[in-house]
Chains A and B, each alone.
Chain A
Amino acid sequence: MDDAKAQQAALARLRSAIERAAGDLSLEEEPARFVAALDDGAPGETA
């Protein structure tokens, strides 16, 4: 396989992995919930 084809194959694998994993995402899932996950996971705060 030449280099361009190998890179296309790597990209196709990546796309397919995302599509498969995203198949059961709930409708309420959105990118901003990433920051919320970090905020929620922080330990009790005392500066």
Chain B
Amino acid sequence: MDGTIAELAAAIRQGKASSVEATTDCLDRIRRLDGRLRAFITVDADGALVSARALDADAAAGRWRGPLHGVPLAYKDLCHIGGLPSSCGTKTAEYFIAEHDATAVSRLAAAGAVTLGKLNMTELALGPFGDNAHHGHAQNPWRAGHASGGSSSGSGVAVAAGLALGALGTDTGGSIRLPAACCGIAGLKPTYGRVSRAGVMPLSWSNDHIGPMARTVRDAALLLQVIAGHDPRDATSRPHPVPDYASSIGRGVAGLRVAVPENYFFQGITDEMASAVRGALRQLEGLGARVTEMRVPDPEAMADVCNVIARCESAAIHTRLVRERPEEIQPVVRARLELGFQIAAHDYLQALRLRARLTRTFIREVFAEADVLVAPVIPEPAPEIARAIEGVPGTVAERQGRFSRLTRPFNGFGLPALALPCGFSDGALPLALQIVGRPFDEATVLRAGHAYEQAAGWHKRRPALE
């Protein structure tokens, strides 16, 4: 499957393609390629084809479900979907069960999407490299043996490899943007509260975000359009109206104020990563954006705050697993969970209070001067998996912290952040940038991302897999 969601949805609407053809194409690719890519944990071939046939019958009768009619998608294995197990990357086949299907998945299905299956992920969504001892390490489609990025590893791989047209991921410290960056696709972490978390296994209630992963920014916008908006089943989802992203995505960036952080984000990254992001900024400037350097309020403080909150909340959520079946958890995941038991309630609450103040300050100071902020996503191209996960848990955890240090602050700030490719390394691995916007201003983030993507053209490259 080489096309985009937008192209396939239009072709189905015009009678030039069918959902069964598209679904069969994806299932064939999964059969041929996923033995080595390890993007899926569960493939629901029968269910997908039943659904595709029903959608084609509806189309023939002029009954259109919605903008994704007939489009095959896949979901991270922590989204509850009735009839399919949710291992959440653990050894337990049905680790997570919810009262209802995940709202985001239900909304996509109601819009006409076909469910191909459930995608691989880092165990319990804890880890940025995409390794998983239980289900196999998800492989980077651009270079075998290299990390896919995580924790939404299968989502990144499936989309980049054309096994699915789009996917859902979740992002607690970078888990949508890291695999998007490593796999060379678009991945959006929306504003905290923009997309319902209902029916999705939590890792850290305060930091969890659900968002789309797709080949293009326009496709990510199409998916966001469907899943965004208030949900009474998620107390943290906000009632802000959802704009029509398609109507503004093509408006360009003339006059858009783009800030480049002087501090933190360009420290400790490779030269080729820095050079690619700065090249993208020059390209945005060439398109009419007004690019200026800015010293931003220290993101390190927010990274610490996020770490404390995430450690405490994840330990609380997974207490039973850690206490009753610790031998089932990978050592580094268990070590990170156990840290949460050692943090005092006082420190956790201070972190939550600090988060409020840091967020207010960051929004006030940055967005008084800029419409979006552009920064790198990962400090280096996707590392070799074996090297990334070697060593004792403390060493691996430190390496994980370095790899996610550029994404984690925006989980704390709750701001929308879009990762997309901005070049390739000497080793033929994707390089990436992230575009960060005001709260609930995904429209501007998507508009800037789309303008750059169309000018740069990196999204047209495909990994050579066959």
In the complex, chain A residues whose CB is within 8 Å of the CB of B452: none
Report B's interface with A, CB cutoff 8 A. Answer: 191-193, 206, 236, 238, 240-244, 301, 304-305, 307-308, 335, 339, 342-344, 347, 349-357, 359-360, 363-364, 367, 392-395, 397-398, 414, 438-441, 444
- Contact between chains at A14 and B438 (CB < 8 Å): no
CA distance in complex: A35, B440 (Å) = 12
The 8 A CB mask of A8-47 against B (1 = contact, 0 = none) is 0011001101110110010001111111111111110111
In the complex, chain B residues whose CB is within 8 Å of the CB of A31: 349, 352-353, 355-356
- Contact between chains at B398 and A10 (CB < 8 Å): yes
Distance of A22 from chain B, by nearest CB (Å): 4
Distance of A36 from chain B, by nearest CB (Å): 8
A-B contact pairs, 6 of them (CB 8 A): A22-B353, A29-B353, A34-B359, A42-B440, A45-B241, A47-B244
Distance of A13 from chain B, by nearest CB (Å): 8
- Contact between chains at A18 and B354 (CB < 8 Å): yes
Number of A-B contacts (CB under 8 A): 117
Given A30-B353, A35-B193, A39-B439, are A18 and B304 also a contact pair (CB < 8 Å)? yes
Cross-interface CB contact of A37 among B238, B241, B242, B360, cutoff 8 Å? B360
In the complex, chain B residues whose CB is within 8 Å of the CB of A39: 238, 240, 439
Q: Which residue of A lies closest to B357 (CB)?
A: A29
Q: Which 6 A-B pairs have the closest CB atoms?
A: A47-B241, A31-B352, A33-B356, A22-B350, A38-B439, A3-B392
CA distance in complex: A33, B356 (Å) = 5
- Contact between chains at A42 and B301 (CB < 8 Å): no
- Contact between chains at B414 and A18 (CB < 8 Å): no
Given A38-B193, A42-B240, A43-B441, are A25 and B357 also a contact pair (CB < 8 Å)? yes
CA distance in complex: A34, B192 (Å) = 10
Cross-interface CB contact of B347 among A15, A29, A34, cutoff 8 Å? A15
- Contact between chains at B243 and A47 (CB < 8 Å): yes
